[in-house]
């Protein structure tokens, strides 16, 4: 009698422990999501969060330390409020990061679906082009493309998108190859479904989890890449506030005015780290092989 009651008595406790464990494993992902949400809100409501103009030059406030005259994070080499420029610079970071992922994802996923499903010479051609582009360093390729298009927000976004699409081809093509011969796709094909319907209704929903994870992780890559391009002078040009430009402007004064470089760098690190944490979290949640 006692042995039969024991599993019933312990199973709710076991389920409770599993729920607690899942919550604990989600802490870092939720923390990253909170940081990104706060960054998005700061970018949207930037004018309401600060009383300073991010582009207003005031040489009387040259390199003032944090906390001086209401400048919480100090001022830069031209007397501009550092906090204000970080908040407004988050707009550049989010626009470039997310739009680059959207453009590169749409293009790369389309090519991956075509290459994996149809195969043949299309698969060989797309795969070889992808391999050739992957042989070039990402930043170098983005700088080269950016030099052809010129500087500016939209040109930087486009250059990063062109440099970043091959990773989606690899992921999507591999997923299509593993799914297109399964029973449900074979049945759909036997019932007369066209290639487009099979790709969109049967194959794509089964690989969308992998695409979301790759896209999330690539946002952090593009955020760093945009800052790198701007740091080197090929991205968003002054006086428009951008984190990479702020790092470049403050590097000469690093030993006497550390706040000009450190605070934009911290914002950049937190943003990239938060996106990586969200990507790892989504991978754990969407990959059934990682579920306990």
> pLDDT tens for residues 67-98?
888 889 999 989 999 999 999 999 999 999 99
Mean pLDDT, rounded, of the chain: 84
* Model pLDDT, residue 282: 85
Closest CA to 169 of 137, 217, 124: 124
Is there a contact between 216 and 127 (Cβ–Cβ < 8 Å)? Answer: no
- For residue 171, the SS3 value is helix
Phi, psi angle pair for 90, to nearest 5°? -65, -25
d(CA 292, CA 277): 19
Element (H, E) at 77: none
Reply yes or no on whether the pLDDT at 17 is more than 80: no
Is there a contact between 168 and 226 (Cβ–Cβ < 8 Å)? Answer: no
Is there a contact between 237 and 60 (Cβ–Cβ < 8 Å)? Answer: no
d(CA 243, CA 263): 9
d(CA 160, CA 175): 24
* Model pLDDT, residue 217: 87
CA distances from 35 to 38, 88, 200 (A): 5, 16, 33
> pLDDT tens for residues 253-287?
888 899 999 999 999 999 999 999 998 888 877 76
DSSP secondary structure code for residue 65 in this structure: P
pTM tops 0.85: no
Which residue did the predictor score with more confidence, 165 or 145? 165
Encoding tokens for residue 165?
């699409």
Element (H, E) at 69: none
* Model pLDDT, residue 59: 86
């Amino acid at each position: 009698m006692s042995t039969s009651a024991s599993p019933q008595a312990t199973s709710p406790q076991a389920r409770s422990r599993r729920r607690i464990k899942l919550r604990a494993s989600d802490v870092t992902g939720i923390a990253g999501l909170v940081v990104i949400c706060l960054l998005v809100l700061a970018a949207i409501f930037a004018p309401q969060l600060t009383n300073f103009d991010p582009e207003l030059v005031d040489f009387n406030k040259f390199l003032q330390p944090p906390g001086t005259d209401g400048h919480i994070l100090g001022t830069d080499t031209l007397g501009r409020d550092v906090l204000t420029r970080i908040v407004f610079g988050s707009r550049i970071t989010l626009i470039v990061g997310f739009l680059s992922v959207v453009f590169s994802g749409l293009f790369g996923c389309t090519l991956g679906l075509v290459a994996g499903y149809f195969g043949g010479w299309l698969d060989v051609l797309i795969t070889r082009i992808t391999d050739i582009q992957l042989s070039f360093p990402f930043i170098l390729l983005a700088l080269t493309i950016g030099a052809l298009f010129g500087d500016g927000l939209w040109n930087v976004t486009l250059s990063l998108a062109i440099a970043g699409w091959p990773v989606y081809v690899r992921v999507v093509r591999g997923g299509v190859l593993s799914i297109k011969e399964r029973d449900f796709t074979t049945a759909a094909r036997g019932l007369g479904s066209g290639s487009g319907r099979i790709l969109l209704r049967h194959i794509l929903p089964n690989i969308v989890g992998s695409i979301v994870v790759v896209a999330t992780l690539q946002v952090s890559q593009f955020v760093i890449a945009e800052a790198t391009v701007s740091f080197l002078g090929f991205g968003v040009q002054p006086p428009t506030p951008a984190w990479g430009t702020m790092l470049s402007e403050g590097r000469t004064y690093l030993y006497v005015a550390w706040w000009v470089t450190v605070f934009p760098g911290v914002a950049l690190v937190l943003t990239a780290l938060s996106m990586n944490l969200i990507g790892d979290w989504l991978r754990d949640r969407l990959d059934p092989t990682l579920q306990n």
